[in-house]
Structure 1
């Protein structure tokens, strides 16, 4: 399924005060998601020759049988690949520095290890491994990626959990349960598998969204949530931005579904593009979300996005920092970074091309210095580290971004 969430969604009282050194927890004590920085991890890039069962340019191209090129591409940001042992030649022109335009494969264990090393070095506590419908041709590759993520998380002292994305998954109600029972639940035996309140963490993303790929009625969604809770899991809901009023991107009538989750993580990609947008949510959405979660014993884990690089939304880190600052002041229980490696939407924090020297010549793909401010490839990882320290009370609460771009 050659889909990203943007395909379906882009069209559509403070508990921590400034200077405080303590985070307030509504429903749960600190664990592997409460009081922590979680990053969404796609792990869905492959290349011919990497050994992956899918044997194609998985998520790099529109036509996976052909290499990515200016006319056959699914990426909008170009990764910095200098830390990877294996890379794969594309049909793009050479980079601005004359080197070949090569991409990484998530299927290489060294790639996953490198990603988790970056997480370790930059305060990313937990990785949410995205798991779309695994019953089709992508299934064997997705199964293998779960094992690779477990190995990397154990090696680099990170936590991970399975995050089911129900997008377009017609038989989700039965097949998600079967997949958990037959395959994914075994990963909870790993010391690196995330736990909250003593329970293994599972996230289900997509219930209640008002689009043609999330059409299950509330009773079906509630059945799935309660089934996972019956399995002893702590269940996170990746829910619509406007889940509480039940409008805009949310279908009406799903509030009981949302309230059944142990933690709520409303989606934010495509919702804000500037500082005014971030402040709008701080003034009009996040406090109300937090208050409702408090009233129902639910933990609140809103998204933080770096911004779409290709669209010029990042403001060399100021957009991301404003969200860290605002959400810390709200007193949220956790933060979810959307995403670690989402080069398809341009919202990645993983190392990214710094300048035109590191993107294919003539491609019009923007590098991190797109607004005239030089930024090192790891800038958004370092920004995440500083935002996490502020959120955890390990650094002052400040509206002024402390992270130097270089």
Structure 2
């Protein structure tokens, strides 16, 4: 008993003298996720040209082409437009590129983004890595343009065998200490929830992953984020399959998933490819899933954020990654924004208090909402999805309109709004 008393006294002494002081800024412009529409931000379209997602004349792994007319710096690709001009692309690691993206968020009313932090980047989080540079630029731009920003750890890349979430614990310390993500210079815009910095962990409960959620230290990582006296005091959002509640269909059948969910603050189901405008009355199914999910979450005092996406296509990616199962072009069509708006309005009408958009910049799976073009390159090895003749900023504008309706700044409408 005397030993326990001495230990408690020691830690109280450290805390009193600031040794164990929490390193997060106590205030932020964004104290809650509620009322916001946040998007995922990949930031992986980086030079050099042999980077997996970067296009060249022989291998193209993207299905949409960005509108690059506003970027300060663009780069030649091996592709040509129909008029013979060289198709140019941006570099996610350029500071000017990230600045342009966050300026668009401000201009169109996109509240902010979750920065994807893949396990591979966390495993080797050195200061010179391209992924880390993207983070640095993003947090600076978020402060300049007053946009909400948060870290989303994506477990993709975790091998499972002899590997666990210890890497993420050390990486979070690195991000807090070296990049000051929760105490950025200038305006503090790190997204909080329930009064605490929000950290997302995505990729929990999917059956196609090489890791078992029971033995990769997830509870230890969650406990660290919640309770560590220096780096903890965080809220947690967990990214799970669409049918996590029933432990069916796209979800692991292991009830341990529910035990993990009950330890966090927000549930985010991944709904990309799970709903389609090509299925009759699929928005009724989408609505019913959201209503039942919200009811489950209320039982356990957990918040809930549905996922929306504008469309989907990974034809060009599948040519190289799945040559025996090549996907069609535009397998989930955008329909000029109608599919996107159906999800937005259905989610809001069903009681969603916050929304997650997949994704801001993901042109490789055709889910991007940033500026894309109807004038992609012509190629013998690739086919691209267009945007149905809409302006390149159409989905940014729709997202801003939805954010106003989510906050009841404008009446909710169920037909896609028209620009004046």
TM-score, with structure 1 as normaliser: 0.83
Q: Could you report, residue by residue, the CA deviation over 1:260-289 in whole angstroms, capped at 9, with x for unpaired residues?
A: 110111001111121632321202x11010
> Is the counterpart of residue 256 in structure 1 residue 245 in structure 2?
no
Q: Does 1:273 align with 2:280?
A: no
The match for 2:102 among 99, 116, 121 is 116
Identify the residue that residue 333 of structure 1 maps to in structure 2. Answer: 353
1:122-137 equivalences in 2 (<5 Å): 122-133=108-119, 134-135=121-122
Aligned mates of 1:135, 1:335 — CA distance in 2: 26
Unaligned runs of 5+ in 2: 1-29, 314-329
**Following the alignment from structure 1 to structure 2, what is the Cα–Cα distance between the partners of residues 327 and 303?**
9
Match for residue 244 of structure 1? 245
Q: Does residue 348 of structure 1 match 2:368?
A: yes
C-alpha distance in 2 between matches for 1:218 and 1:259: 18
Q: 2:340 aligns with which of 320, 327, 338?
A: 320
Rg (Cα) greater in structure: 2
Q: SS of the residue aligned with 1:345?
A: coil
CA distance in 2, matches of 1:172, 1:103: 36
Looking at structure 2, the residues matched to 350 and 223 of structure 1 have their Cα atoms a distance apart, in angstroms, of 36
Of 198, 209, 230, the residue aligned with 2:195 is: 198
Task: Provide the secondary structure at the position in 1 that maps to 2:292.
Answer: helix
| Structure 1 contact 95–360 (Cα < 8 Å) conserved | yes
Give the Cα–Cα distance (whole angstroms) in 2 for the partners of residues 182 and 398 of structure 1: 44
- Which residue of structure 2 aligns with residue 60 of structure 1? 53
Residues 97 and 215 of structure 1, relative CA distance in 2, 3 Å threshold? farther
Residue 46 of structure 2 corresponds to 46
CA RMSD of aligned residues (A): 2.0
Q: How is 1:63-142 mapped onto 2 (pairs within 5 angstroms)? A: 68-69=56-57, 71-92=58-79, 94-133=80-119, 134-135=121-122, 140-142=129-131
Aligned match for 1:167, one of 156, 162, 167: 156
Give the 3-state SS of the residue equivalent to 2:262 in structure 1: helix
Equivalent residue pairs, number:
355
**Cα contact 1:88–1:103 (8 A) shared by 2:** yes
What is the rounded CA distance, in whole Å, between the counterparts of 1:288 and 1:263 in structure 2?
15
Contact 2:118 2:154 in 1 (8 A): yes
In structure 2, the partner of 1:282 is 287
Retained in 1: the 8 A contact 2:165–2:216?
A: no
Q: Give 1:301's match in structure 2, choosing from 280, 305, 314.
A: 305
Shift of 1:259: 1.7
**Contact 1:383–1:403 at 8 Å: present in 2 too?**
no
Structure 2 contact 345–414 (Cα < 8 Å) conserved: yes
Q: Following TM superposition, by how much is the alpha carbon of 1:106 offset from its aligned partner in structure 2, in angstroms?
A: 0.6
1:211-253 per-residue CA deviation (whole Å, 9 max, x = no partner) reads: 1334231783223222211110011111111111111222121
- Mapped to 2, the partners of 1:122 and 1:287 lie a distance apart of 29
Distance 1:172 1:87, change over 3 A: farther
The 1-side partners of 2:418 and 2:124 are apart by 42
- Could you say what secondary structure the match of 2:156 adopts? coil
2:138 aligned to which of 149, 161, 168: 149
For residues 413 and 215 of structure 2, the distance between their equivalents in structure 1, rounded to whole angstroms, comes to 41
Does residue 54 of structure 2 align to residue 35 of structure 1? no
**Distance in 2 of aligned mates of 1:218 and 1:136:** 18
Asked whether the equivalents of residues 105 and 111 of structure 1 are also in contact (C-alpha less than 8 Å), the reply is yes
Q: Which runs of 4+ in 1 moved over 4 A?
A: 135-139
Q: Indicate whether 1:225 and 2:243 are aligned.
A: no
- Note if contact 1:97-1:358 (Cα within 8 Å) is conserved in structure 2: no
Report deviation, 1:377: 0.4
SS at match of 2:114: strand
* 1:25 paired residue number: none
Query: CA 1:60–1:41 in 2, change beyond 3 Å: closer, same or farther?
Result: same
What is the CA distance between 1:121 and its match in structure 2?
1.2
Which SS does the other structure have where 1:272 is aligned?
coil
User: In structure 1, what is the Cα distance between the partners aligned to 2:402 and 2:53?
Assistant: 30
Report the CA distance between 1:182 and its aligned residue.
2.4
Is residue 202–residue 233 contact of structure 1 (8 Å, CA) maintained in 2?
yes
Please give the TM-score of this superposition, normalised by the length of structure 2: 0.80
Give the match for residue 412 of structure 2. Answer: 397
1:361: how far off? 5.4
The Cα shift of 1:197 comes to 2.4
